[in-house]
Amino acid sequence: MKITKLAFFNPQGNFDKNDSHLTEHPDFGGQLIYVKELAKEISKLGIKVDIITRKIVDEKWPEFSDNFDYYPGYENLRIIRVPFGGNKFLNKEKLWDHLGEYVKQIINFYSKEKKFPDFVTTHYGDGGISGTMFLYKTGINYSFTAHSLGAQKKDKFSNFDEKFLEEKYRFSIRISAERTAIKYASLIVTSTKQEKEVQYMHPAYKDISIQNIKKFFVIPPGVNTSIFNNVENEQSKYYENILGKFNKSFIILSSRIDPKKNHISVVKSYVSNKRLQEKFNLIIVVRGIDDVYKYSQKNTDEAKILNKIITLAKNKNLLSNIIFLNIQSQHELAALYKAASKFHSIFALTSKYEPFGLAIVEAMACGLPILATKFGGPVEILDNGVYGKLVDPDDIEDISKKILEIANNYIYYKEIGIKRVLSNYTWKSTAEKYLEKILHSKNRKIENIELPKFFLKQI
């Protein structure tokens, strides 16, 4: 039986045609890009697709109050926002208590439409456990894509007190949800072999992953090459004029300002290496923040990171070498990358842990050579250092050394990076492979579902 209708469960963040707040907030990151791009590509294959997320009625988040939203030109694709957990915006860590309501609202919605989806794709632990609860109530199977698993993140914060971690990140609930999602999924999609063989084999998941190993399939994500490519445009020429004034190359950091992205390691390498300071300035992308110095006085995770960066640079009289750019869209980000590539710049991502790293393949497509963490998906994207340089994200010396090595072989790394991305990472092939695996697994018999008590009492 073929697939005519697919639902995507993504309770966190939110979706609209302008990608509002993308990377401005820890809950608006690559996962939303992945879900949007994949849903678009699948809908282009003639399948009806619903992205189901949360209805938010909050003056600070005005874009997300309509029950429906759309991406222009994608008639088969709907964004559906169901109310759960009240009206106000909630951080993803607060959604766990309301996922039963999310699922009940989805069931009500489809009961009224009298047409349920043939299959569900679920994203992150909160989407996954929602898929399990939906399966428990309707018998409709789901795939699980973690995007990021809680245990790796927890390990990287092991120097923090357990109680603090539980309150702030609710790791025990998250890991129990992830384990349940793995156990009852009929398909588990990872972005790399490394994610399947290392991330899911973490002691927190190993037993359940091994029992379900036949459900795992590696499907690489893609790059939107209509945005990220090596073709000059008005916007890239605008950035070329700005960057040209410095008469230097640039090291670019463009991730969400999140402790896990570990911007500090690159800043520490920069302020401690004279040769880097002579050849490069640092560009730090800060989406949605106009006055970084003022913002850095706040009491948020992002502000503390920015404050540390400013302090490190100020102590070495290097503040003028650091350029904070408020980039508002992926189009603008791509324009910055292309312009920076003209000045032999380098993209750096020294995350404590990076499950995949869409930012890496996007920067490569725009002609930026890559320095990336060796912990996680970048190992596969860069094929163990063939297509870019891998570092221990806390080895300050090695970061400086490898940036200079790339600089000495710039055109080589630029060119092989572009080739690597264009031949391996397109959303069209991601969509085709997802559908192939969904058809292969949609009728798998999943029985005797046992929900964790925390969720059973919600549904």
Ligand X SMILES: O=P(O)(O)OC[C@H]1O[C@](O)(CO)[C@@H](O)[C@@H]1O
Ligand Y SMILES: O=c1ccn([C@@H]2O[C@H](COP(=O)(O)OP(=O)(O)O[C@H]3O[C@H](CO)[C@@H](O)[C@H](O)[C@H]3O)[C@@H](O)[C@H]2O)c(=O)[nH]1
Q: Extract the runs of DSSP E, i.e. beta strands, from 135-206.
A: 142-145, 187-190
Instruction: Specify the 3-state DSSP secondary structure of 25.
Output: coil
Nearer to ligand X, 129 or 396 (CB): 129
Residue 394, φ and ψ in degrees, nearest 5:
-110, 5
Closest to ligand X by CB, 67 vs 91, is 91
Q: How far is the CB of 377 from ligand Y (least distance, A)?
A: 6
417 near ligand X, rule: CB under 6 A? no
CA distance 337 to 349: 14
From candidates 11, 13, 220, 357, binder to ligand X by CB under 6 A: 13
124 binds, among ligand Y, ligand X, none (CB under 5 to 8 A by kind): ligand X
423: DSSP letter:
H
Q: Which is nearer to ligand Y, 65 or 330 (CB)?
A: 330
**Helix, strand, or coil (residue 426):** strand
Residues 383, 389, 395, 398, CA torsion sign: positive
Cα distance between residue 284 and residue 250, in whole Å: 10
Nearest-angstrom CA–CA distance, 397 and 39:
42
- The entry of ligand X, ligand Y, none near residue 296 (CB within 5 to 8 angstroms by kind) is none
Contacts with ligand Y by CB under 6 A lie at: 22-23, 29-31, 33-34, 147-148, 191, 254-256, 285, 287, 327, 330, 333, 354-359, 362
27-35, 182-190, 192-200, 428-436 -> range binding ligand X (CB under 6 A): 27-35
Other CB atoms within a 10 A radius of the CB of residue 4 amount to: 11
CA distances from 286 to 47, 290, 303 (A): 37, 8, 11
Distance CA 388, CA 243 (A): 23
**Binding pattern to ligand X, positions 226-265, x when CB under 6 A?**
----------------------------------x-----
- Dihedral angle, C-alpha 56, 119, 74, 328, nearest 10 °: 50
Tell the smallest beta-carbon distance from residue 153 to ligand X (Å). Answer: 5
Instruction: Kindly state the number of chain residues that form the binding site for ligand X, as judged by CB under 6 A.
Output: 11
Choosing from 12, 43, 145, 296, the residue that interacts with ligand X (CB under 6 A) is 12
Residue 362 contact among ligand Y, ligand X, none, beta carbon within 5 to 8 Å by kind: ligand Y
Q: Helix (H, G, I), strand (E, B), or coil: what is residue 14?
A: coil
Select the binding partner of residue 12 from ligand Y, ligand X, none (C-beta < 5 to 8 A, by kind): ligand X
Nearer to ligand X, 255 or 341 (CB): 255
**Interaction of residue 147 with ligand X, rule CB under 6 A:** yes
Q: In the complex with ligand X, which residue's Cβ is closer, 29 or 377? A: 29
- Taking CB positions, which residue lies at the least distance from ligand X? 29
Q: How many CB atoms lie within 10 A of CB 163?
A: 8
Q: Is 31 in the site for ligand X (CB under 6 A)?
A: yes
Nearer to ligand X (CB atom), residue 81 or residue 153: 153
Residues 436, 438, 440, CA angle at the centre, nearest 5°? 70
Q: Which does residue 153 touch among ligand Y, ligand X, none (CB within 5 to 8 A, set by kind)? A: ligand X
**Beta strand spans in 242-297 (E):** 249-253, 280-285
The encoded tokens of residue 2 equal 């073929």
Compare residues 43 and 199 and give the one whose CB is closer to ligand X: 199
Contact partner at residue 105 from ligand X, ligand Y, none, CB < 5 to 8 Å by partner kind: none
Per DSSP, the three-state class of 146 is coil
Task: Find which of ligand Y, ligand X, none residue 330 binds, CB within 5 to 8 Å per kind.
Answer: ligand Y
Q: Quote the least distance from Cβ 176 to ligand Y, whole Å.
A: 21
Tokens of 328: 């508002």
Cα separation, 151 vs 199, in Å, equals: 9
Tell me whether residue 254 or residue 281 sits nearer to ligand Y (CB atom).
Answer: 254
> Would you say 128 or 367 has its CB closer to ligand X?
128
Distance CA 137, CA 120 (A): 13
Residues 282 and 253 sit within 8 Å (Cβ to Cβ):
yes
273 touching ligand X, by CB under 6 A: no
Specify burial of residue 381 (Cβ count, 10 A radius: 0-12, 13-18, 19+).
buried
Residue 27 binds: one of ligand X, ligand Y, none (C-beta under 5 to 8 A by kind)? ligand X
Q: Which does 22 bind (CB under 5 to 8 A by kind): ligand X, ligand Y, none?
A: ligand Y
Q: Is residue 153 at the binding interface for ligand X, with CB under 6 A as the rule?
A: yes
Question: What span, in angstroms and rounded, lies between the C-alpha atoms of 158 and 336?
Answer: 36
Residue 359 binding target from ligand X, ligand Y, none, CB below 5 to 8 Å by type: ligand Y
Nearer to ligand X, 29 or 369 (CB): 29
Query: Three-state SS for 341?
Result: helix
Chain residues in the site for ligand X (CB under 6 A): 12-13, 27, 29-31, 124, 147-148, 153, 260
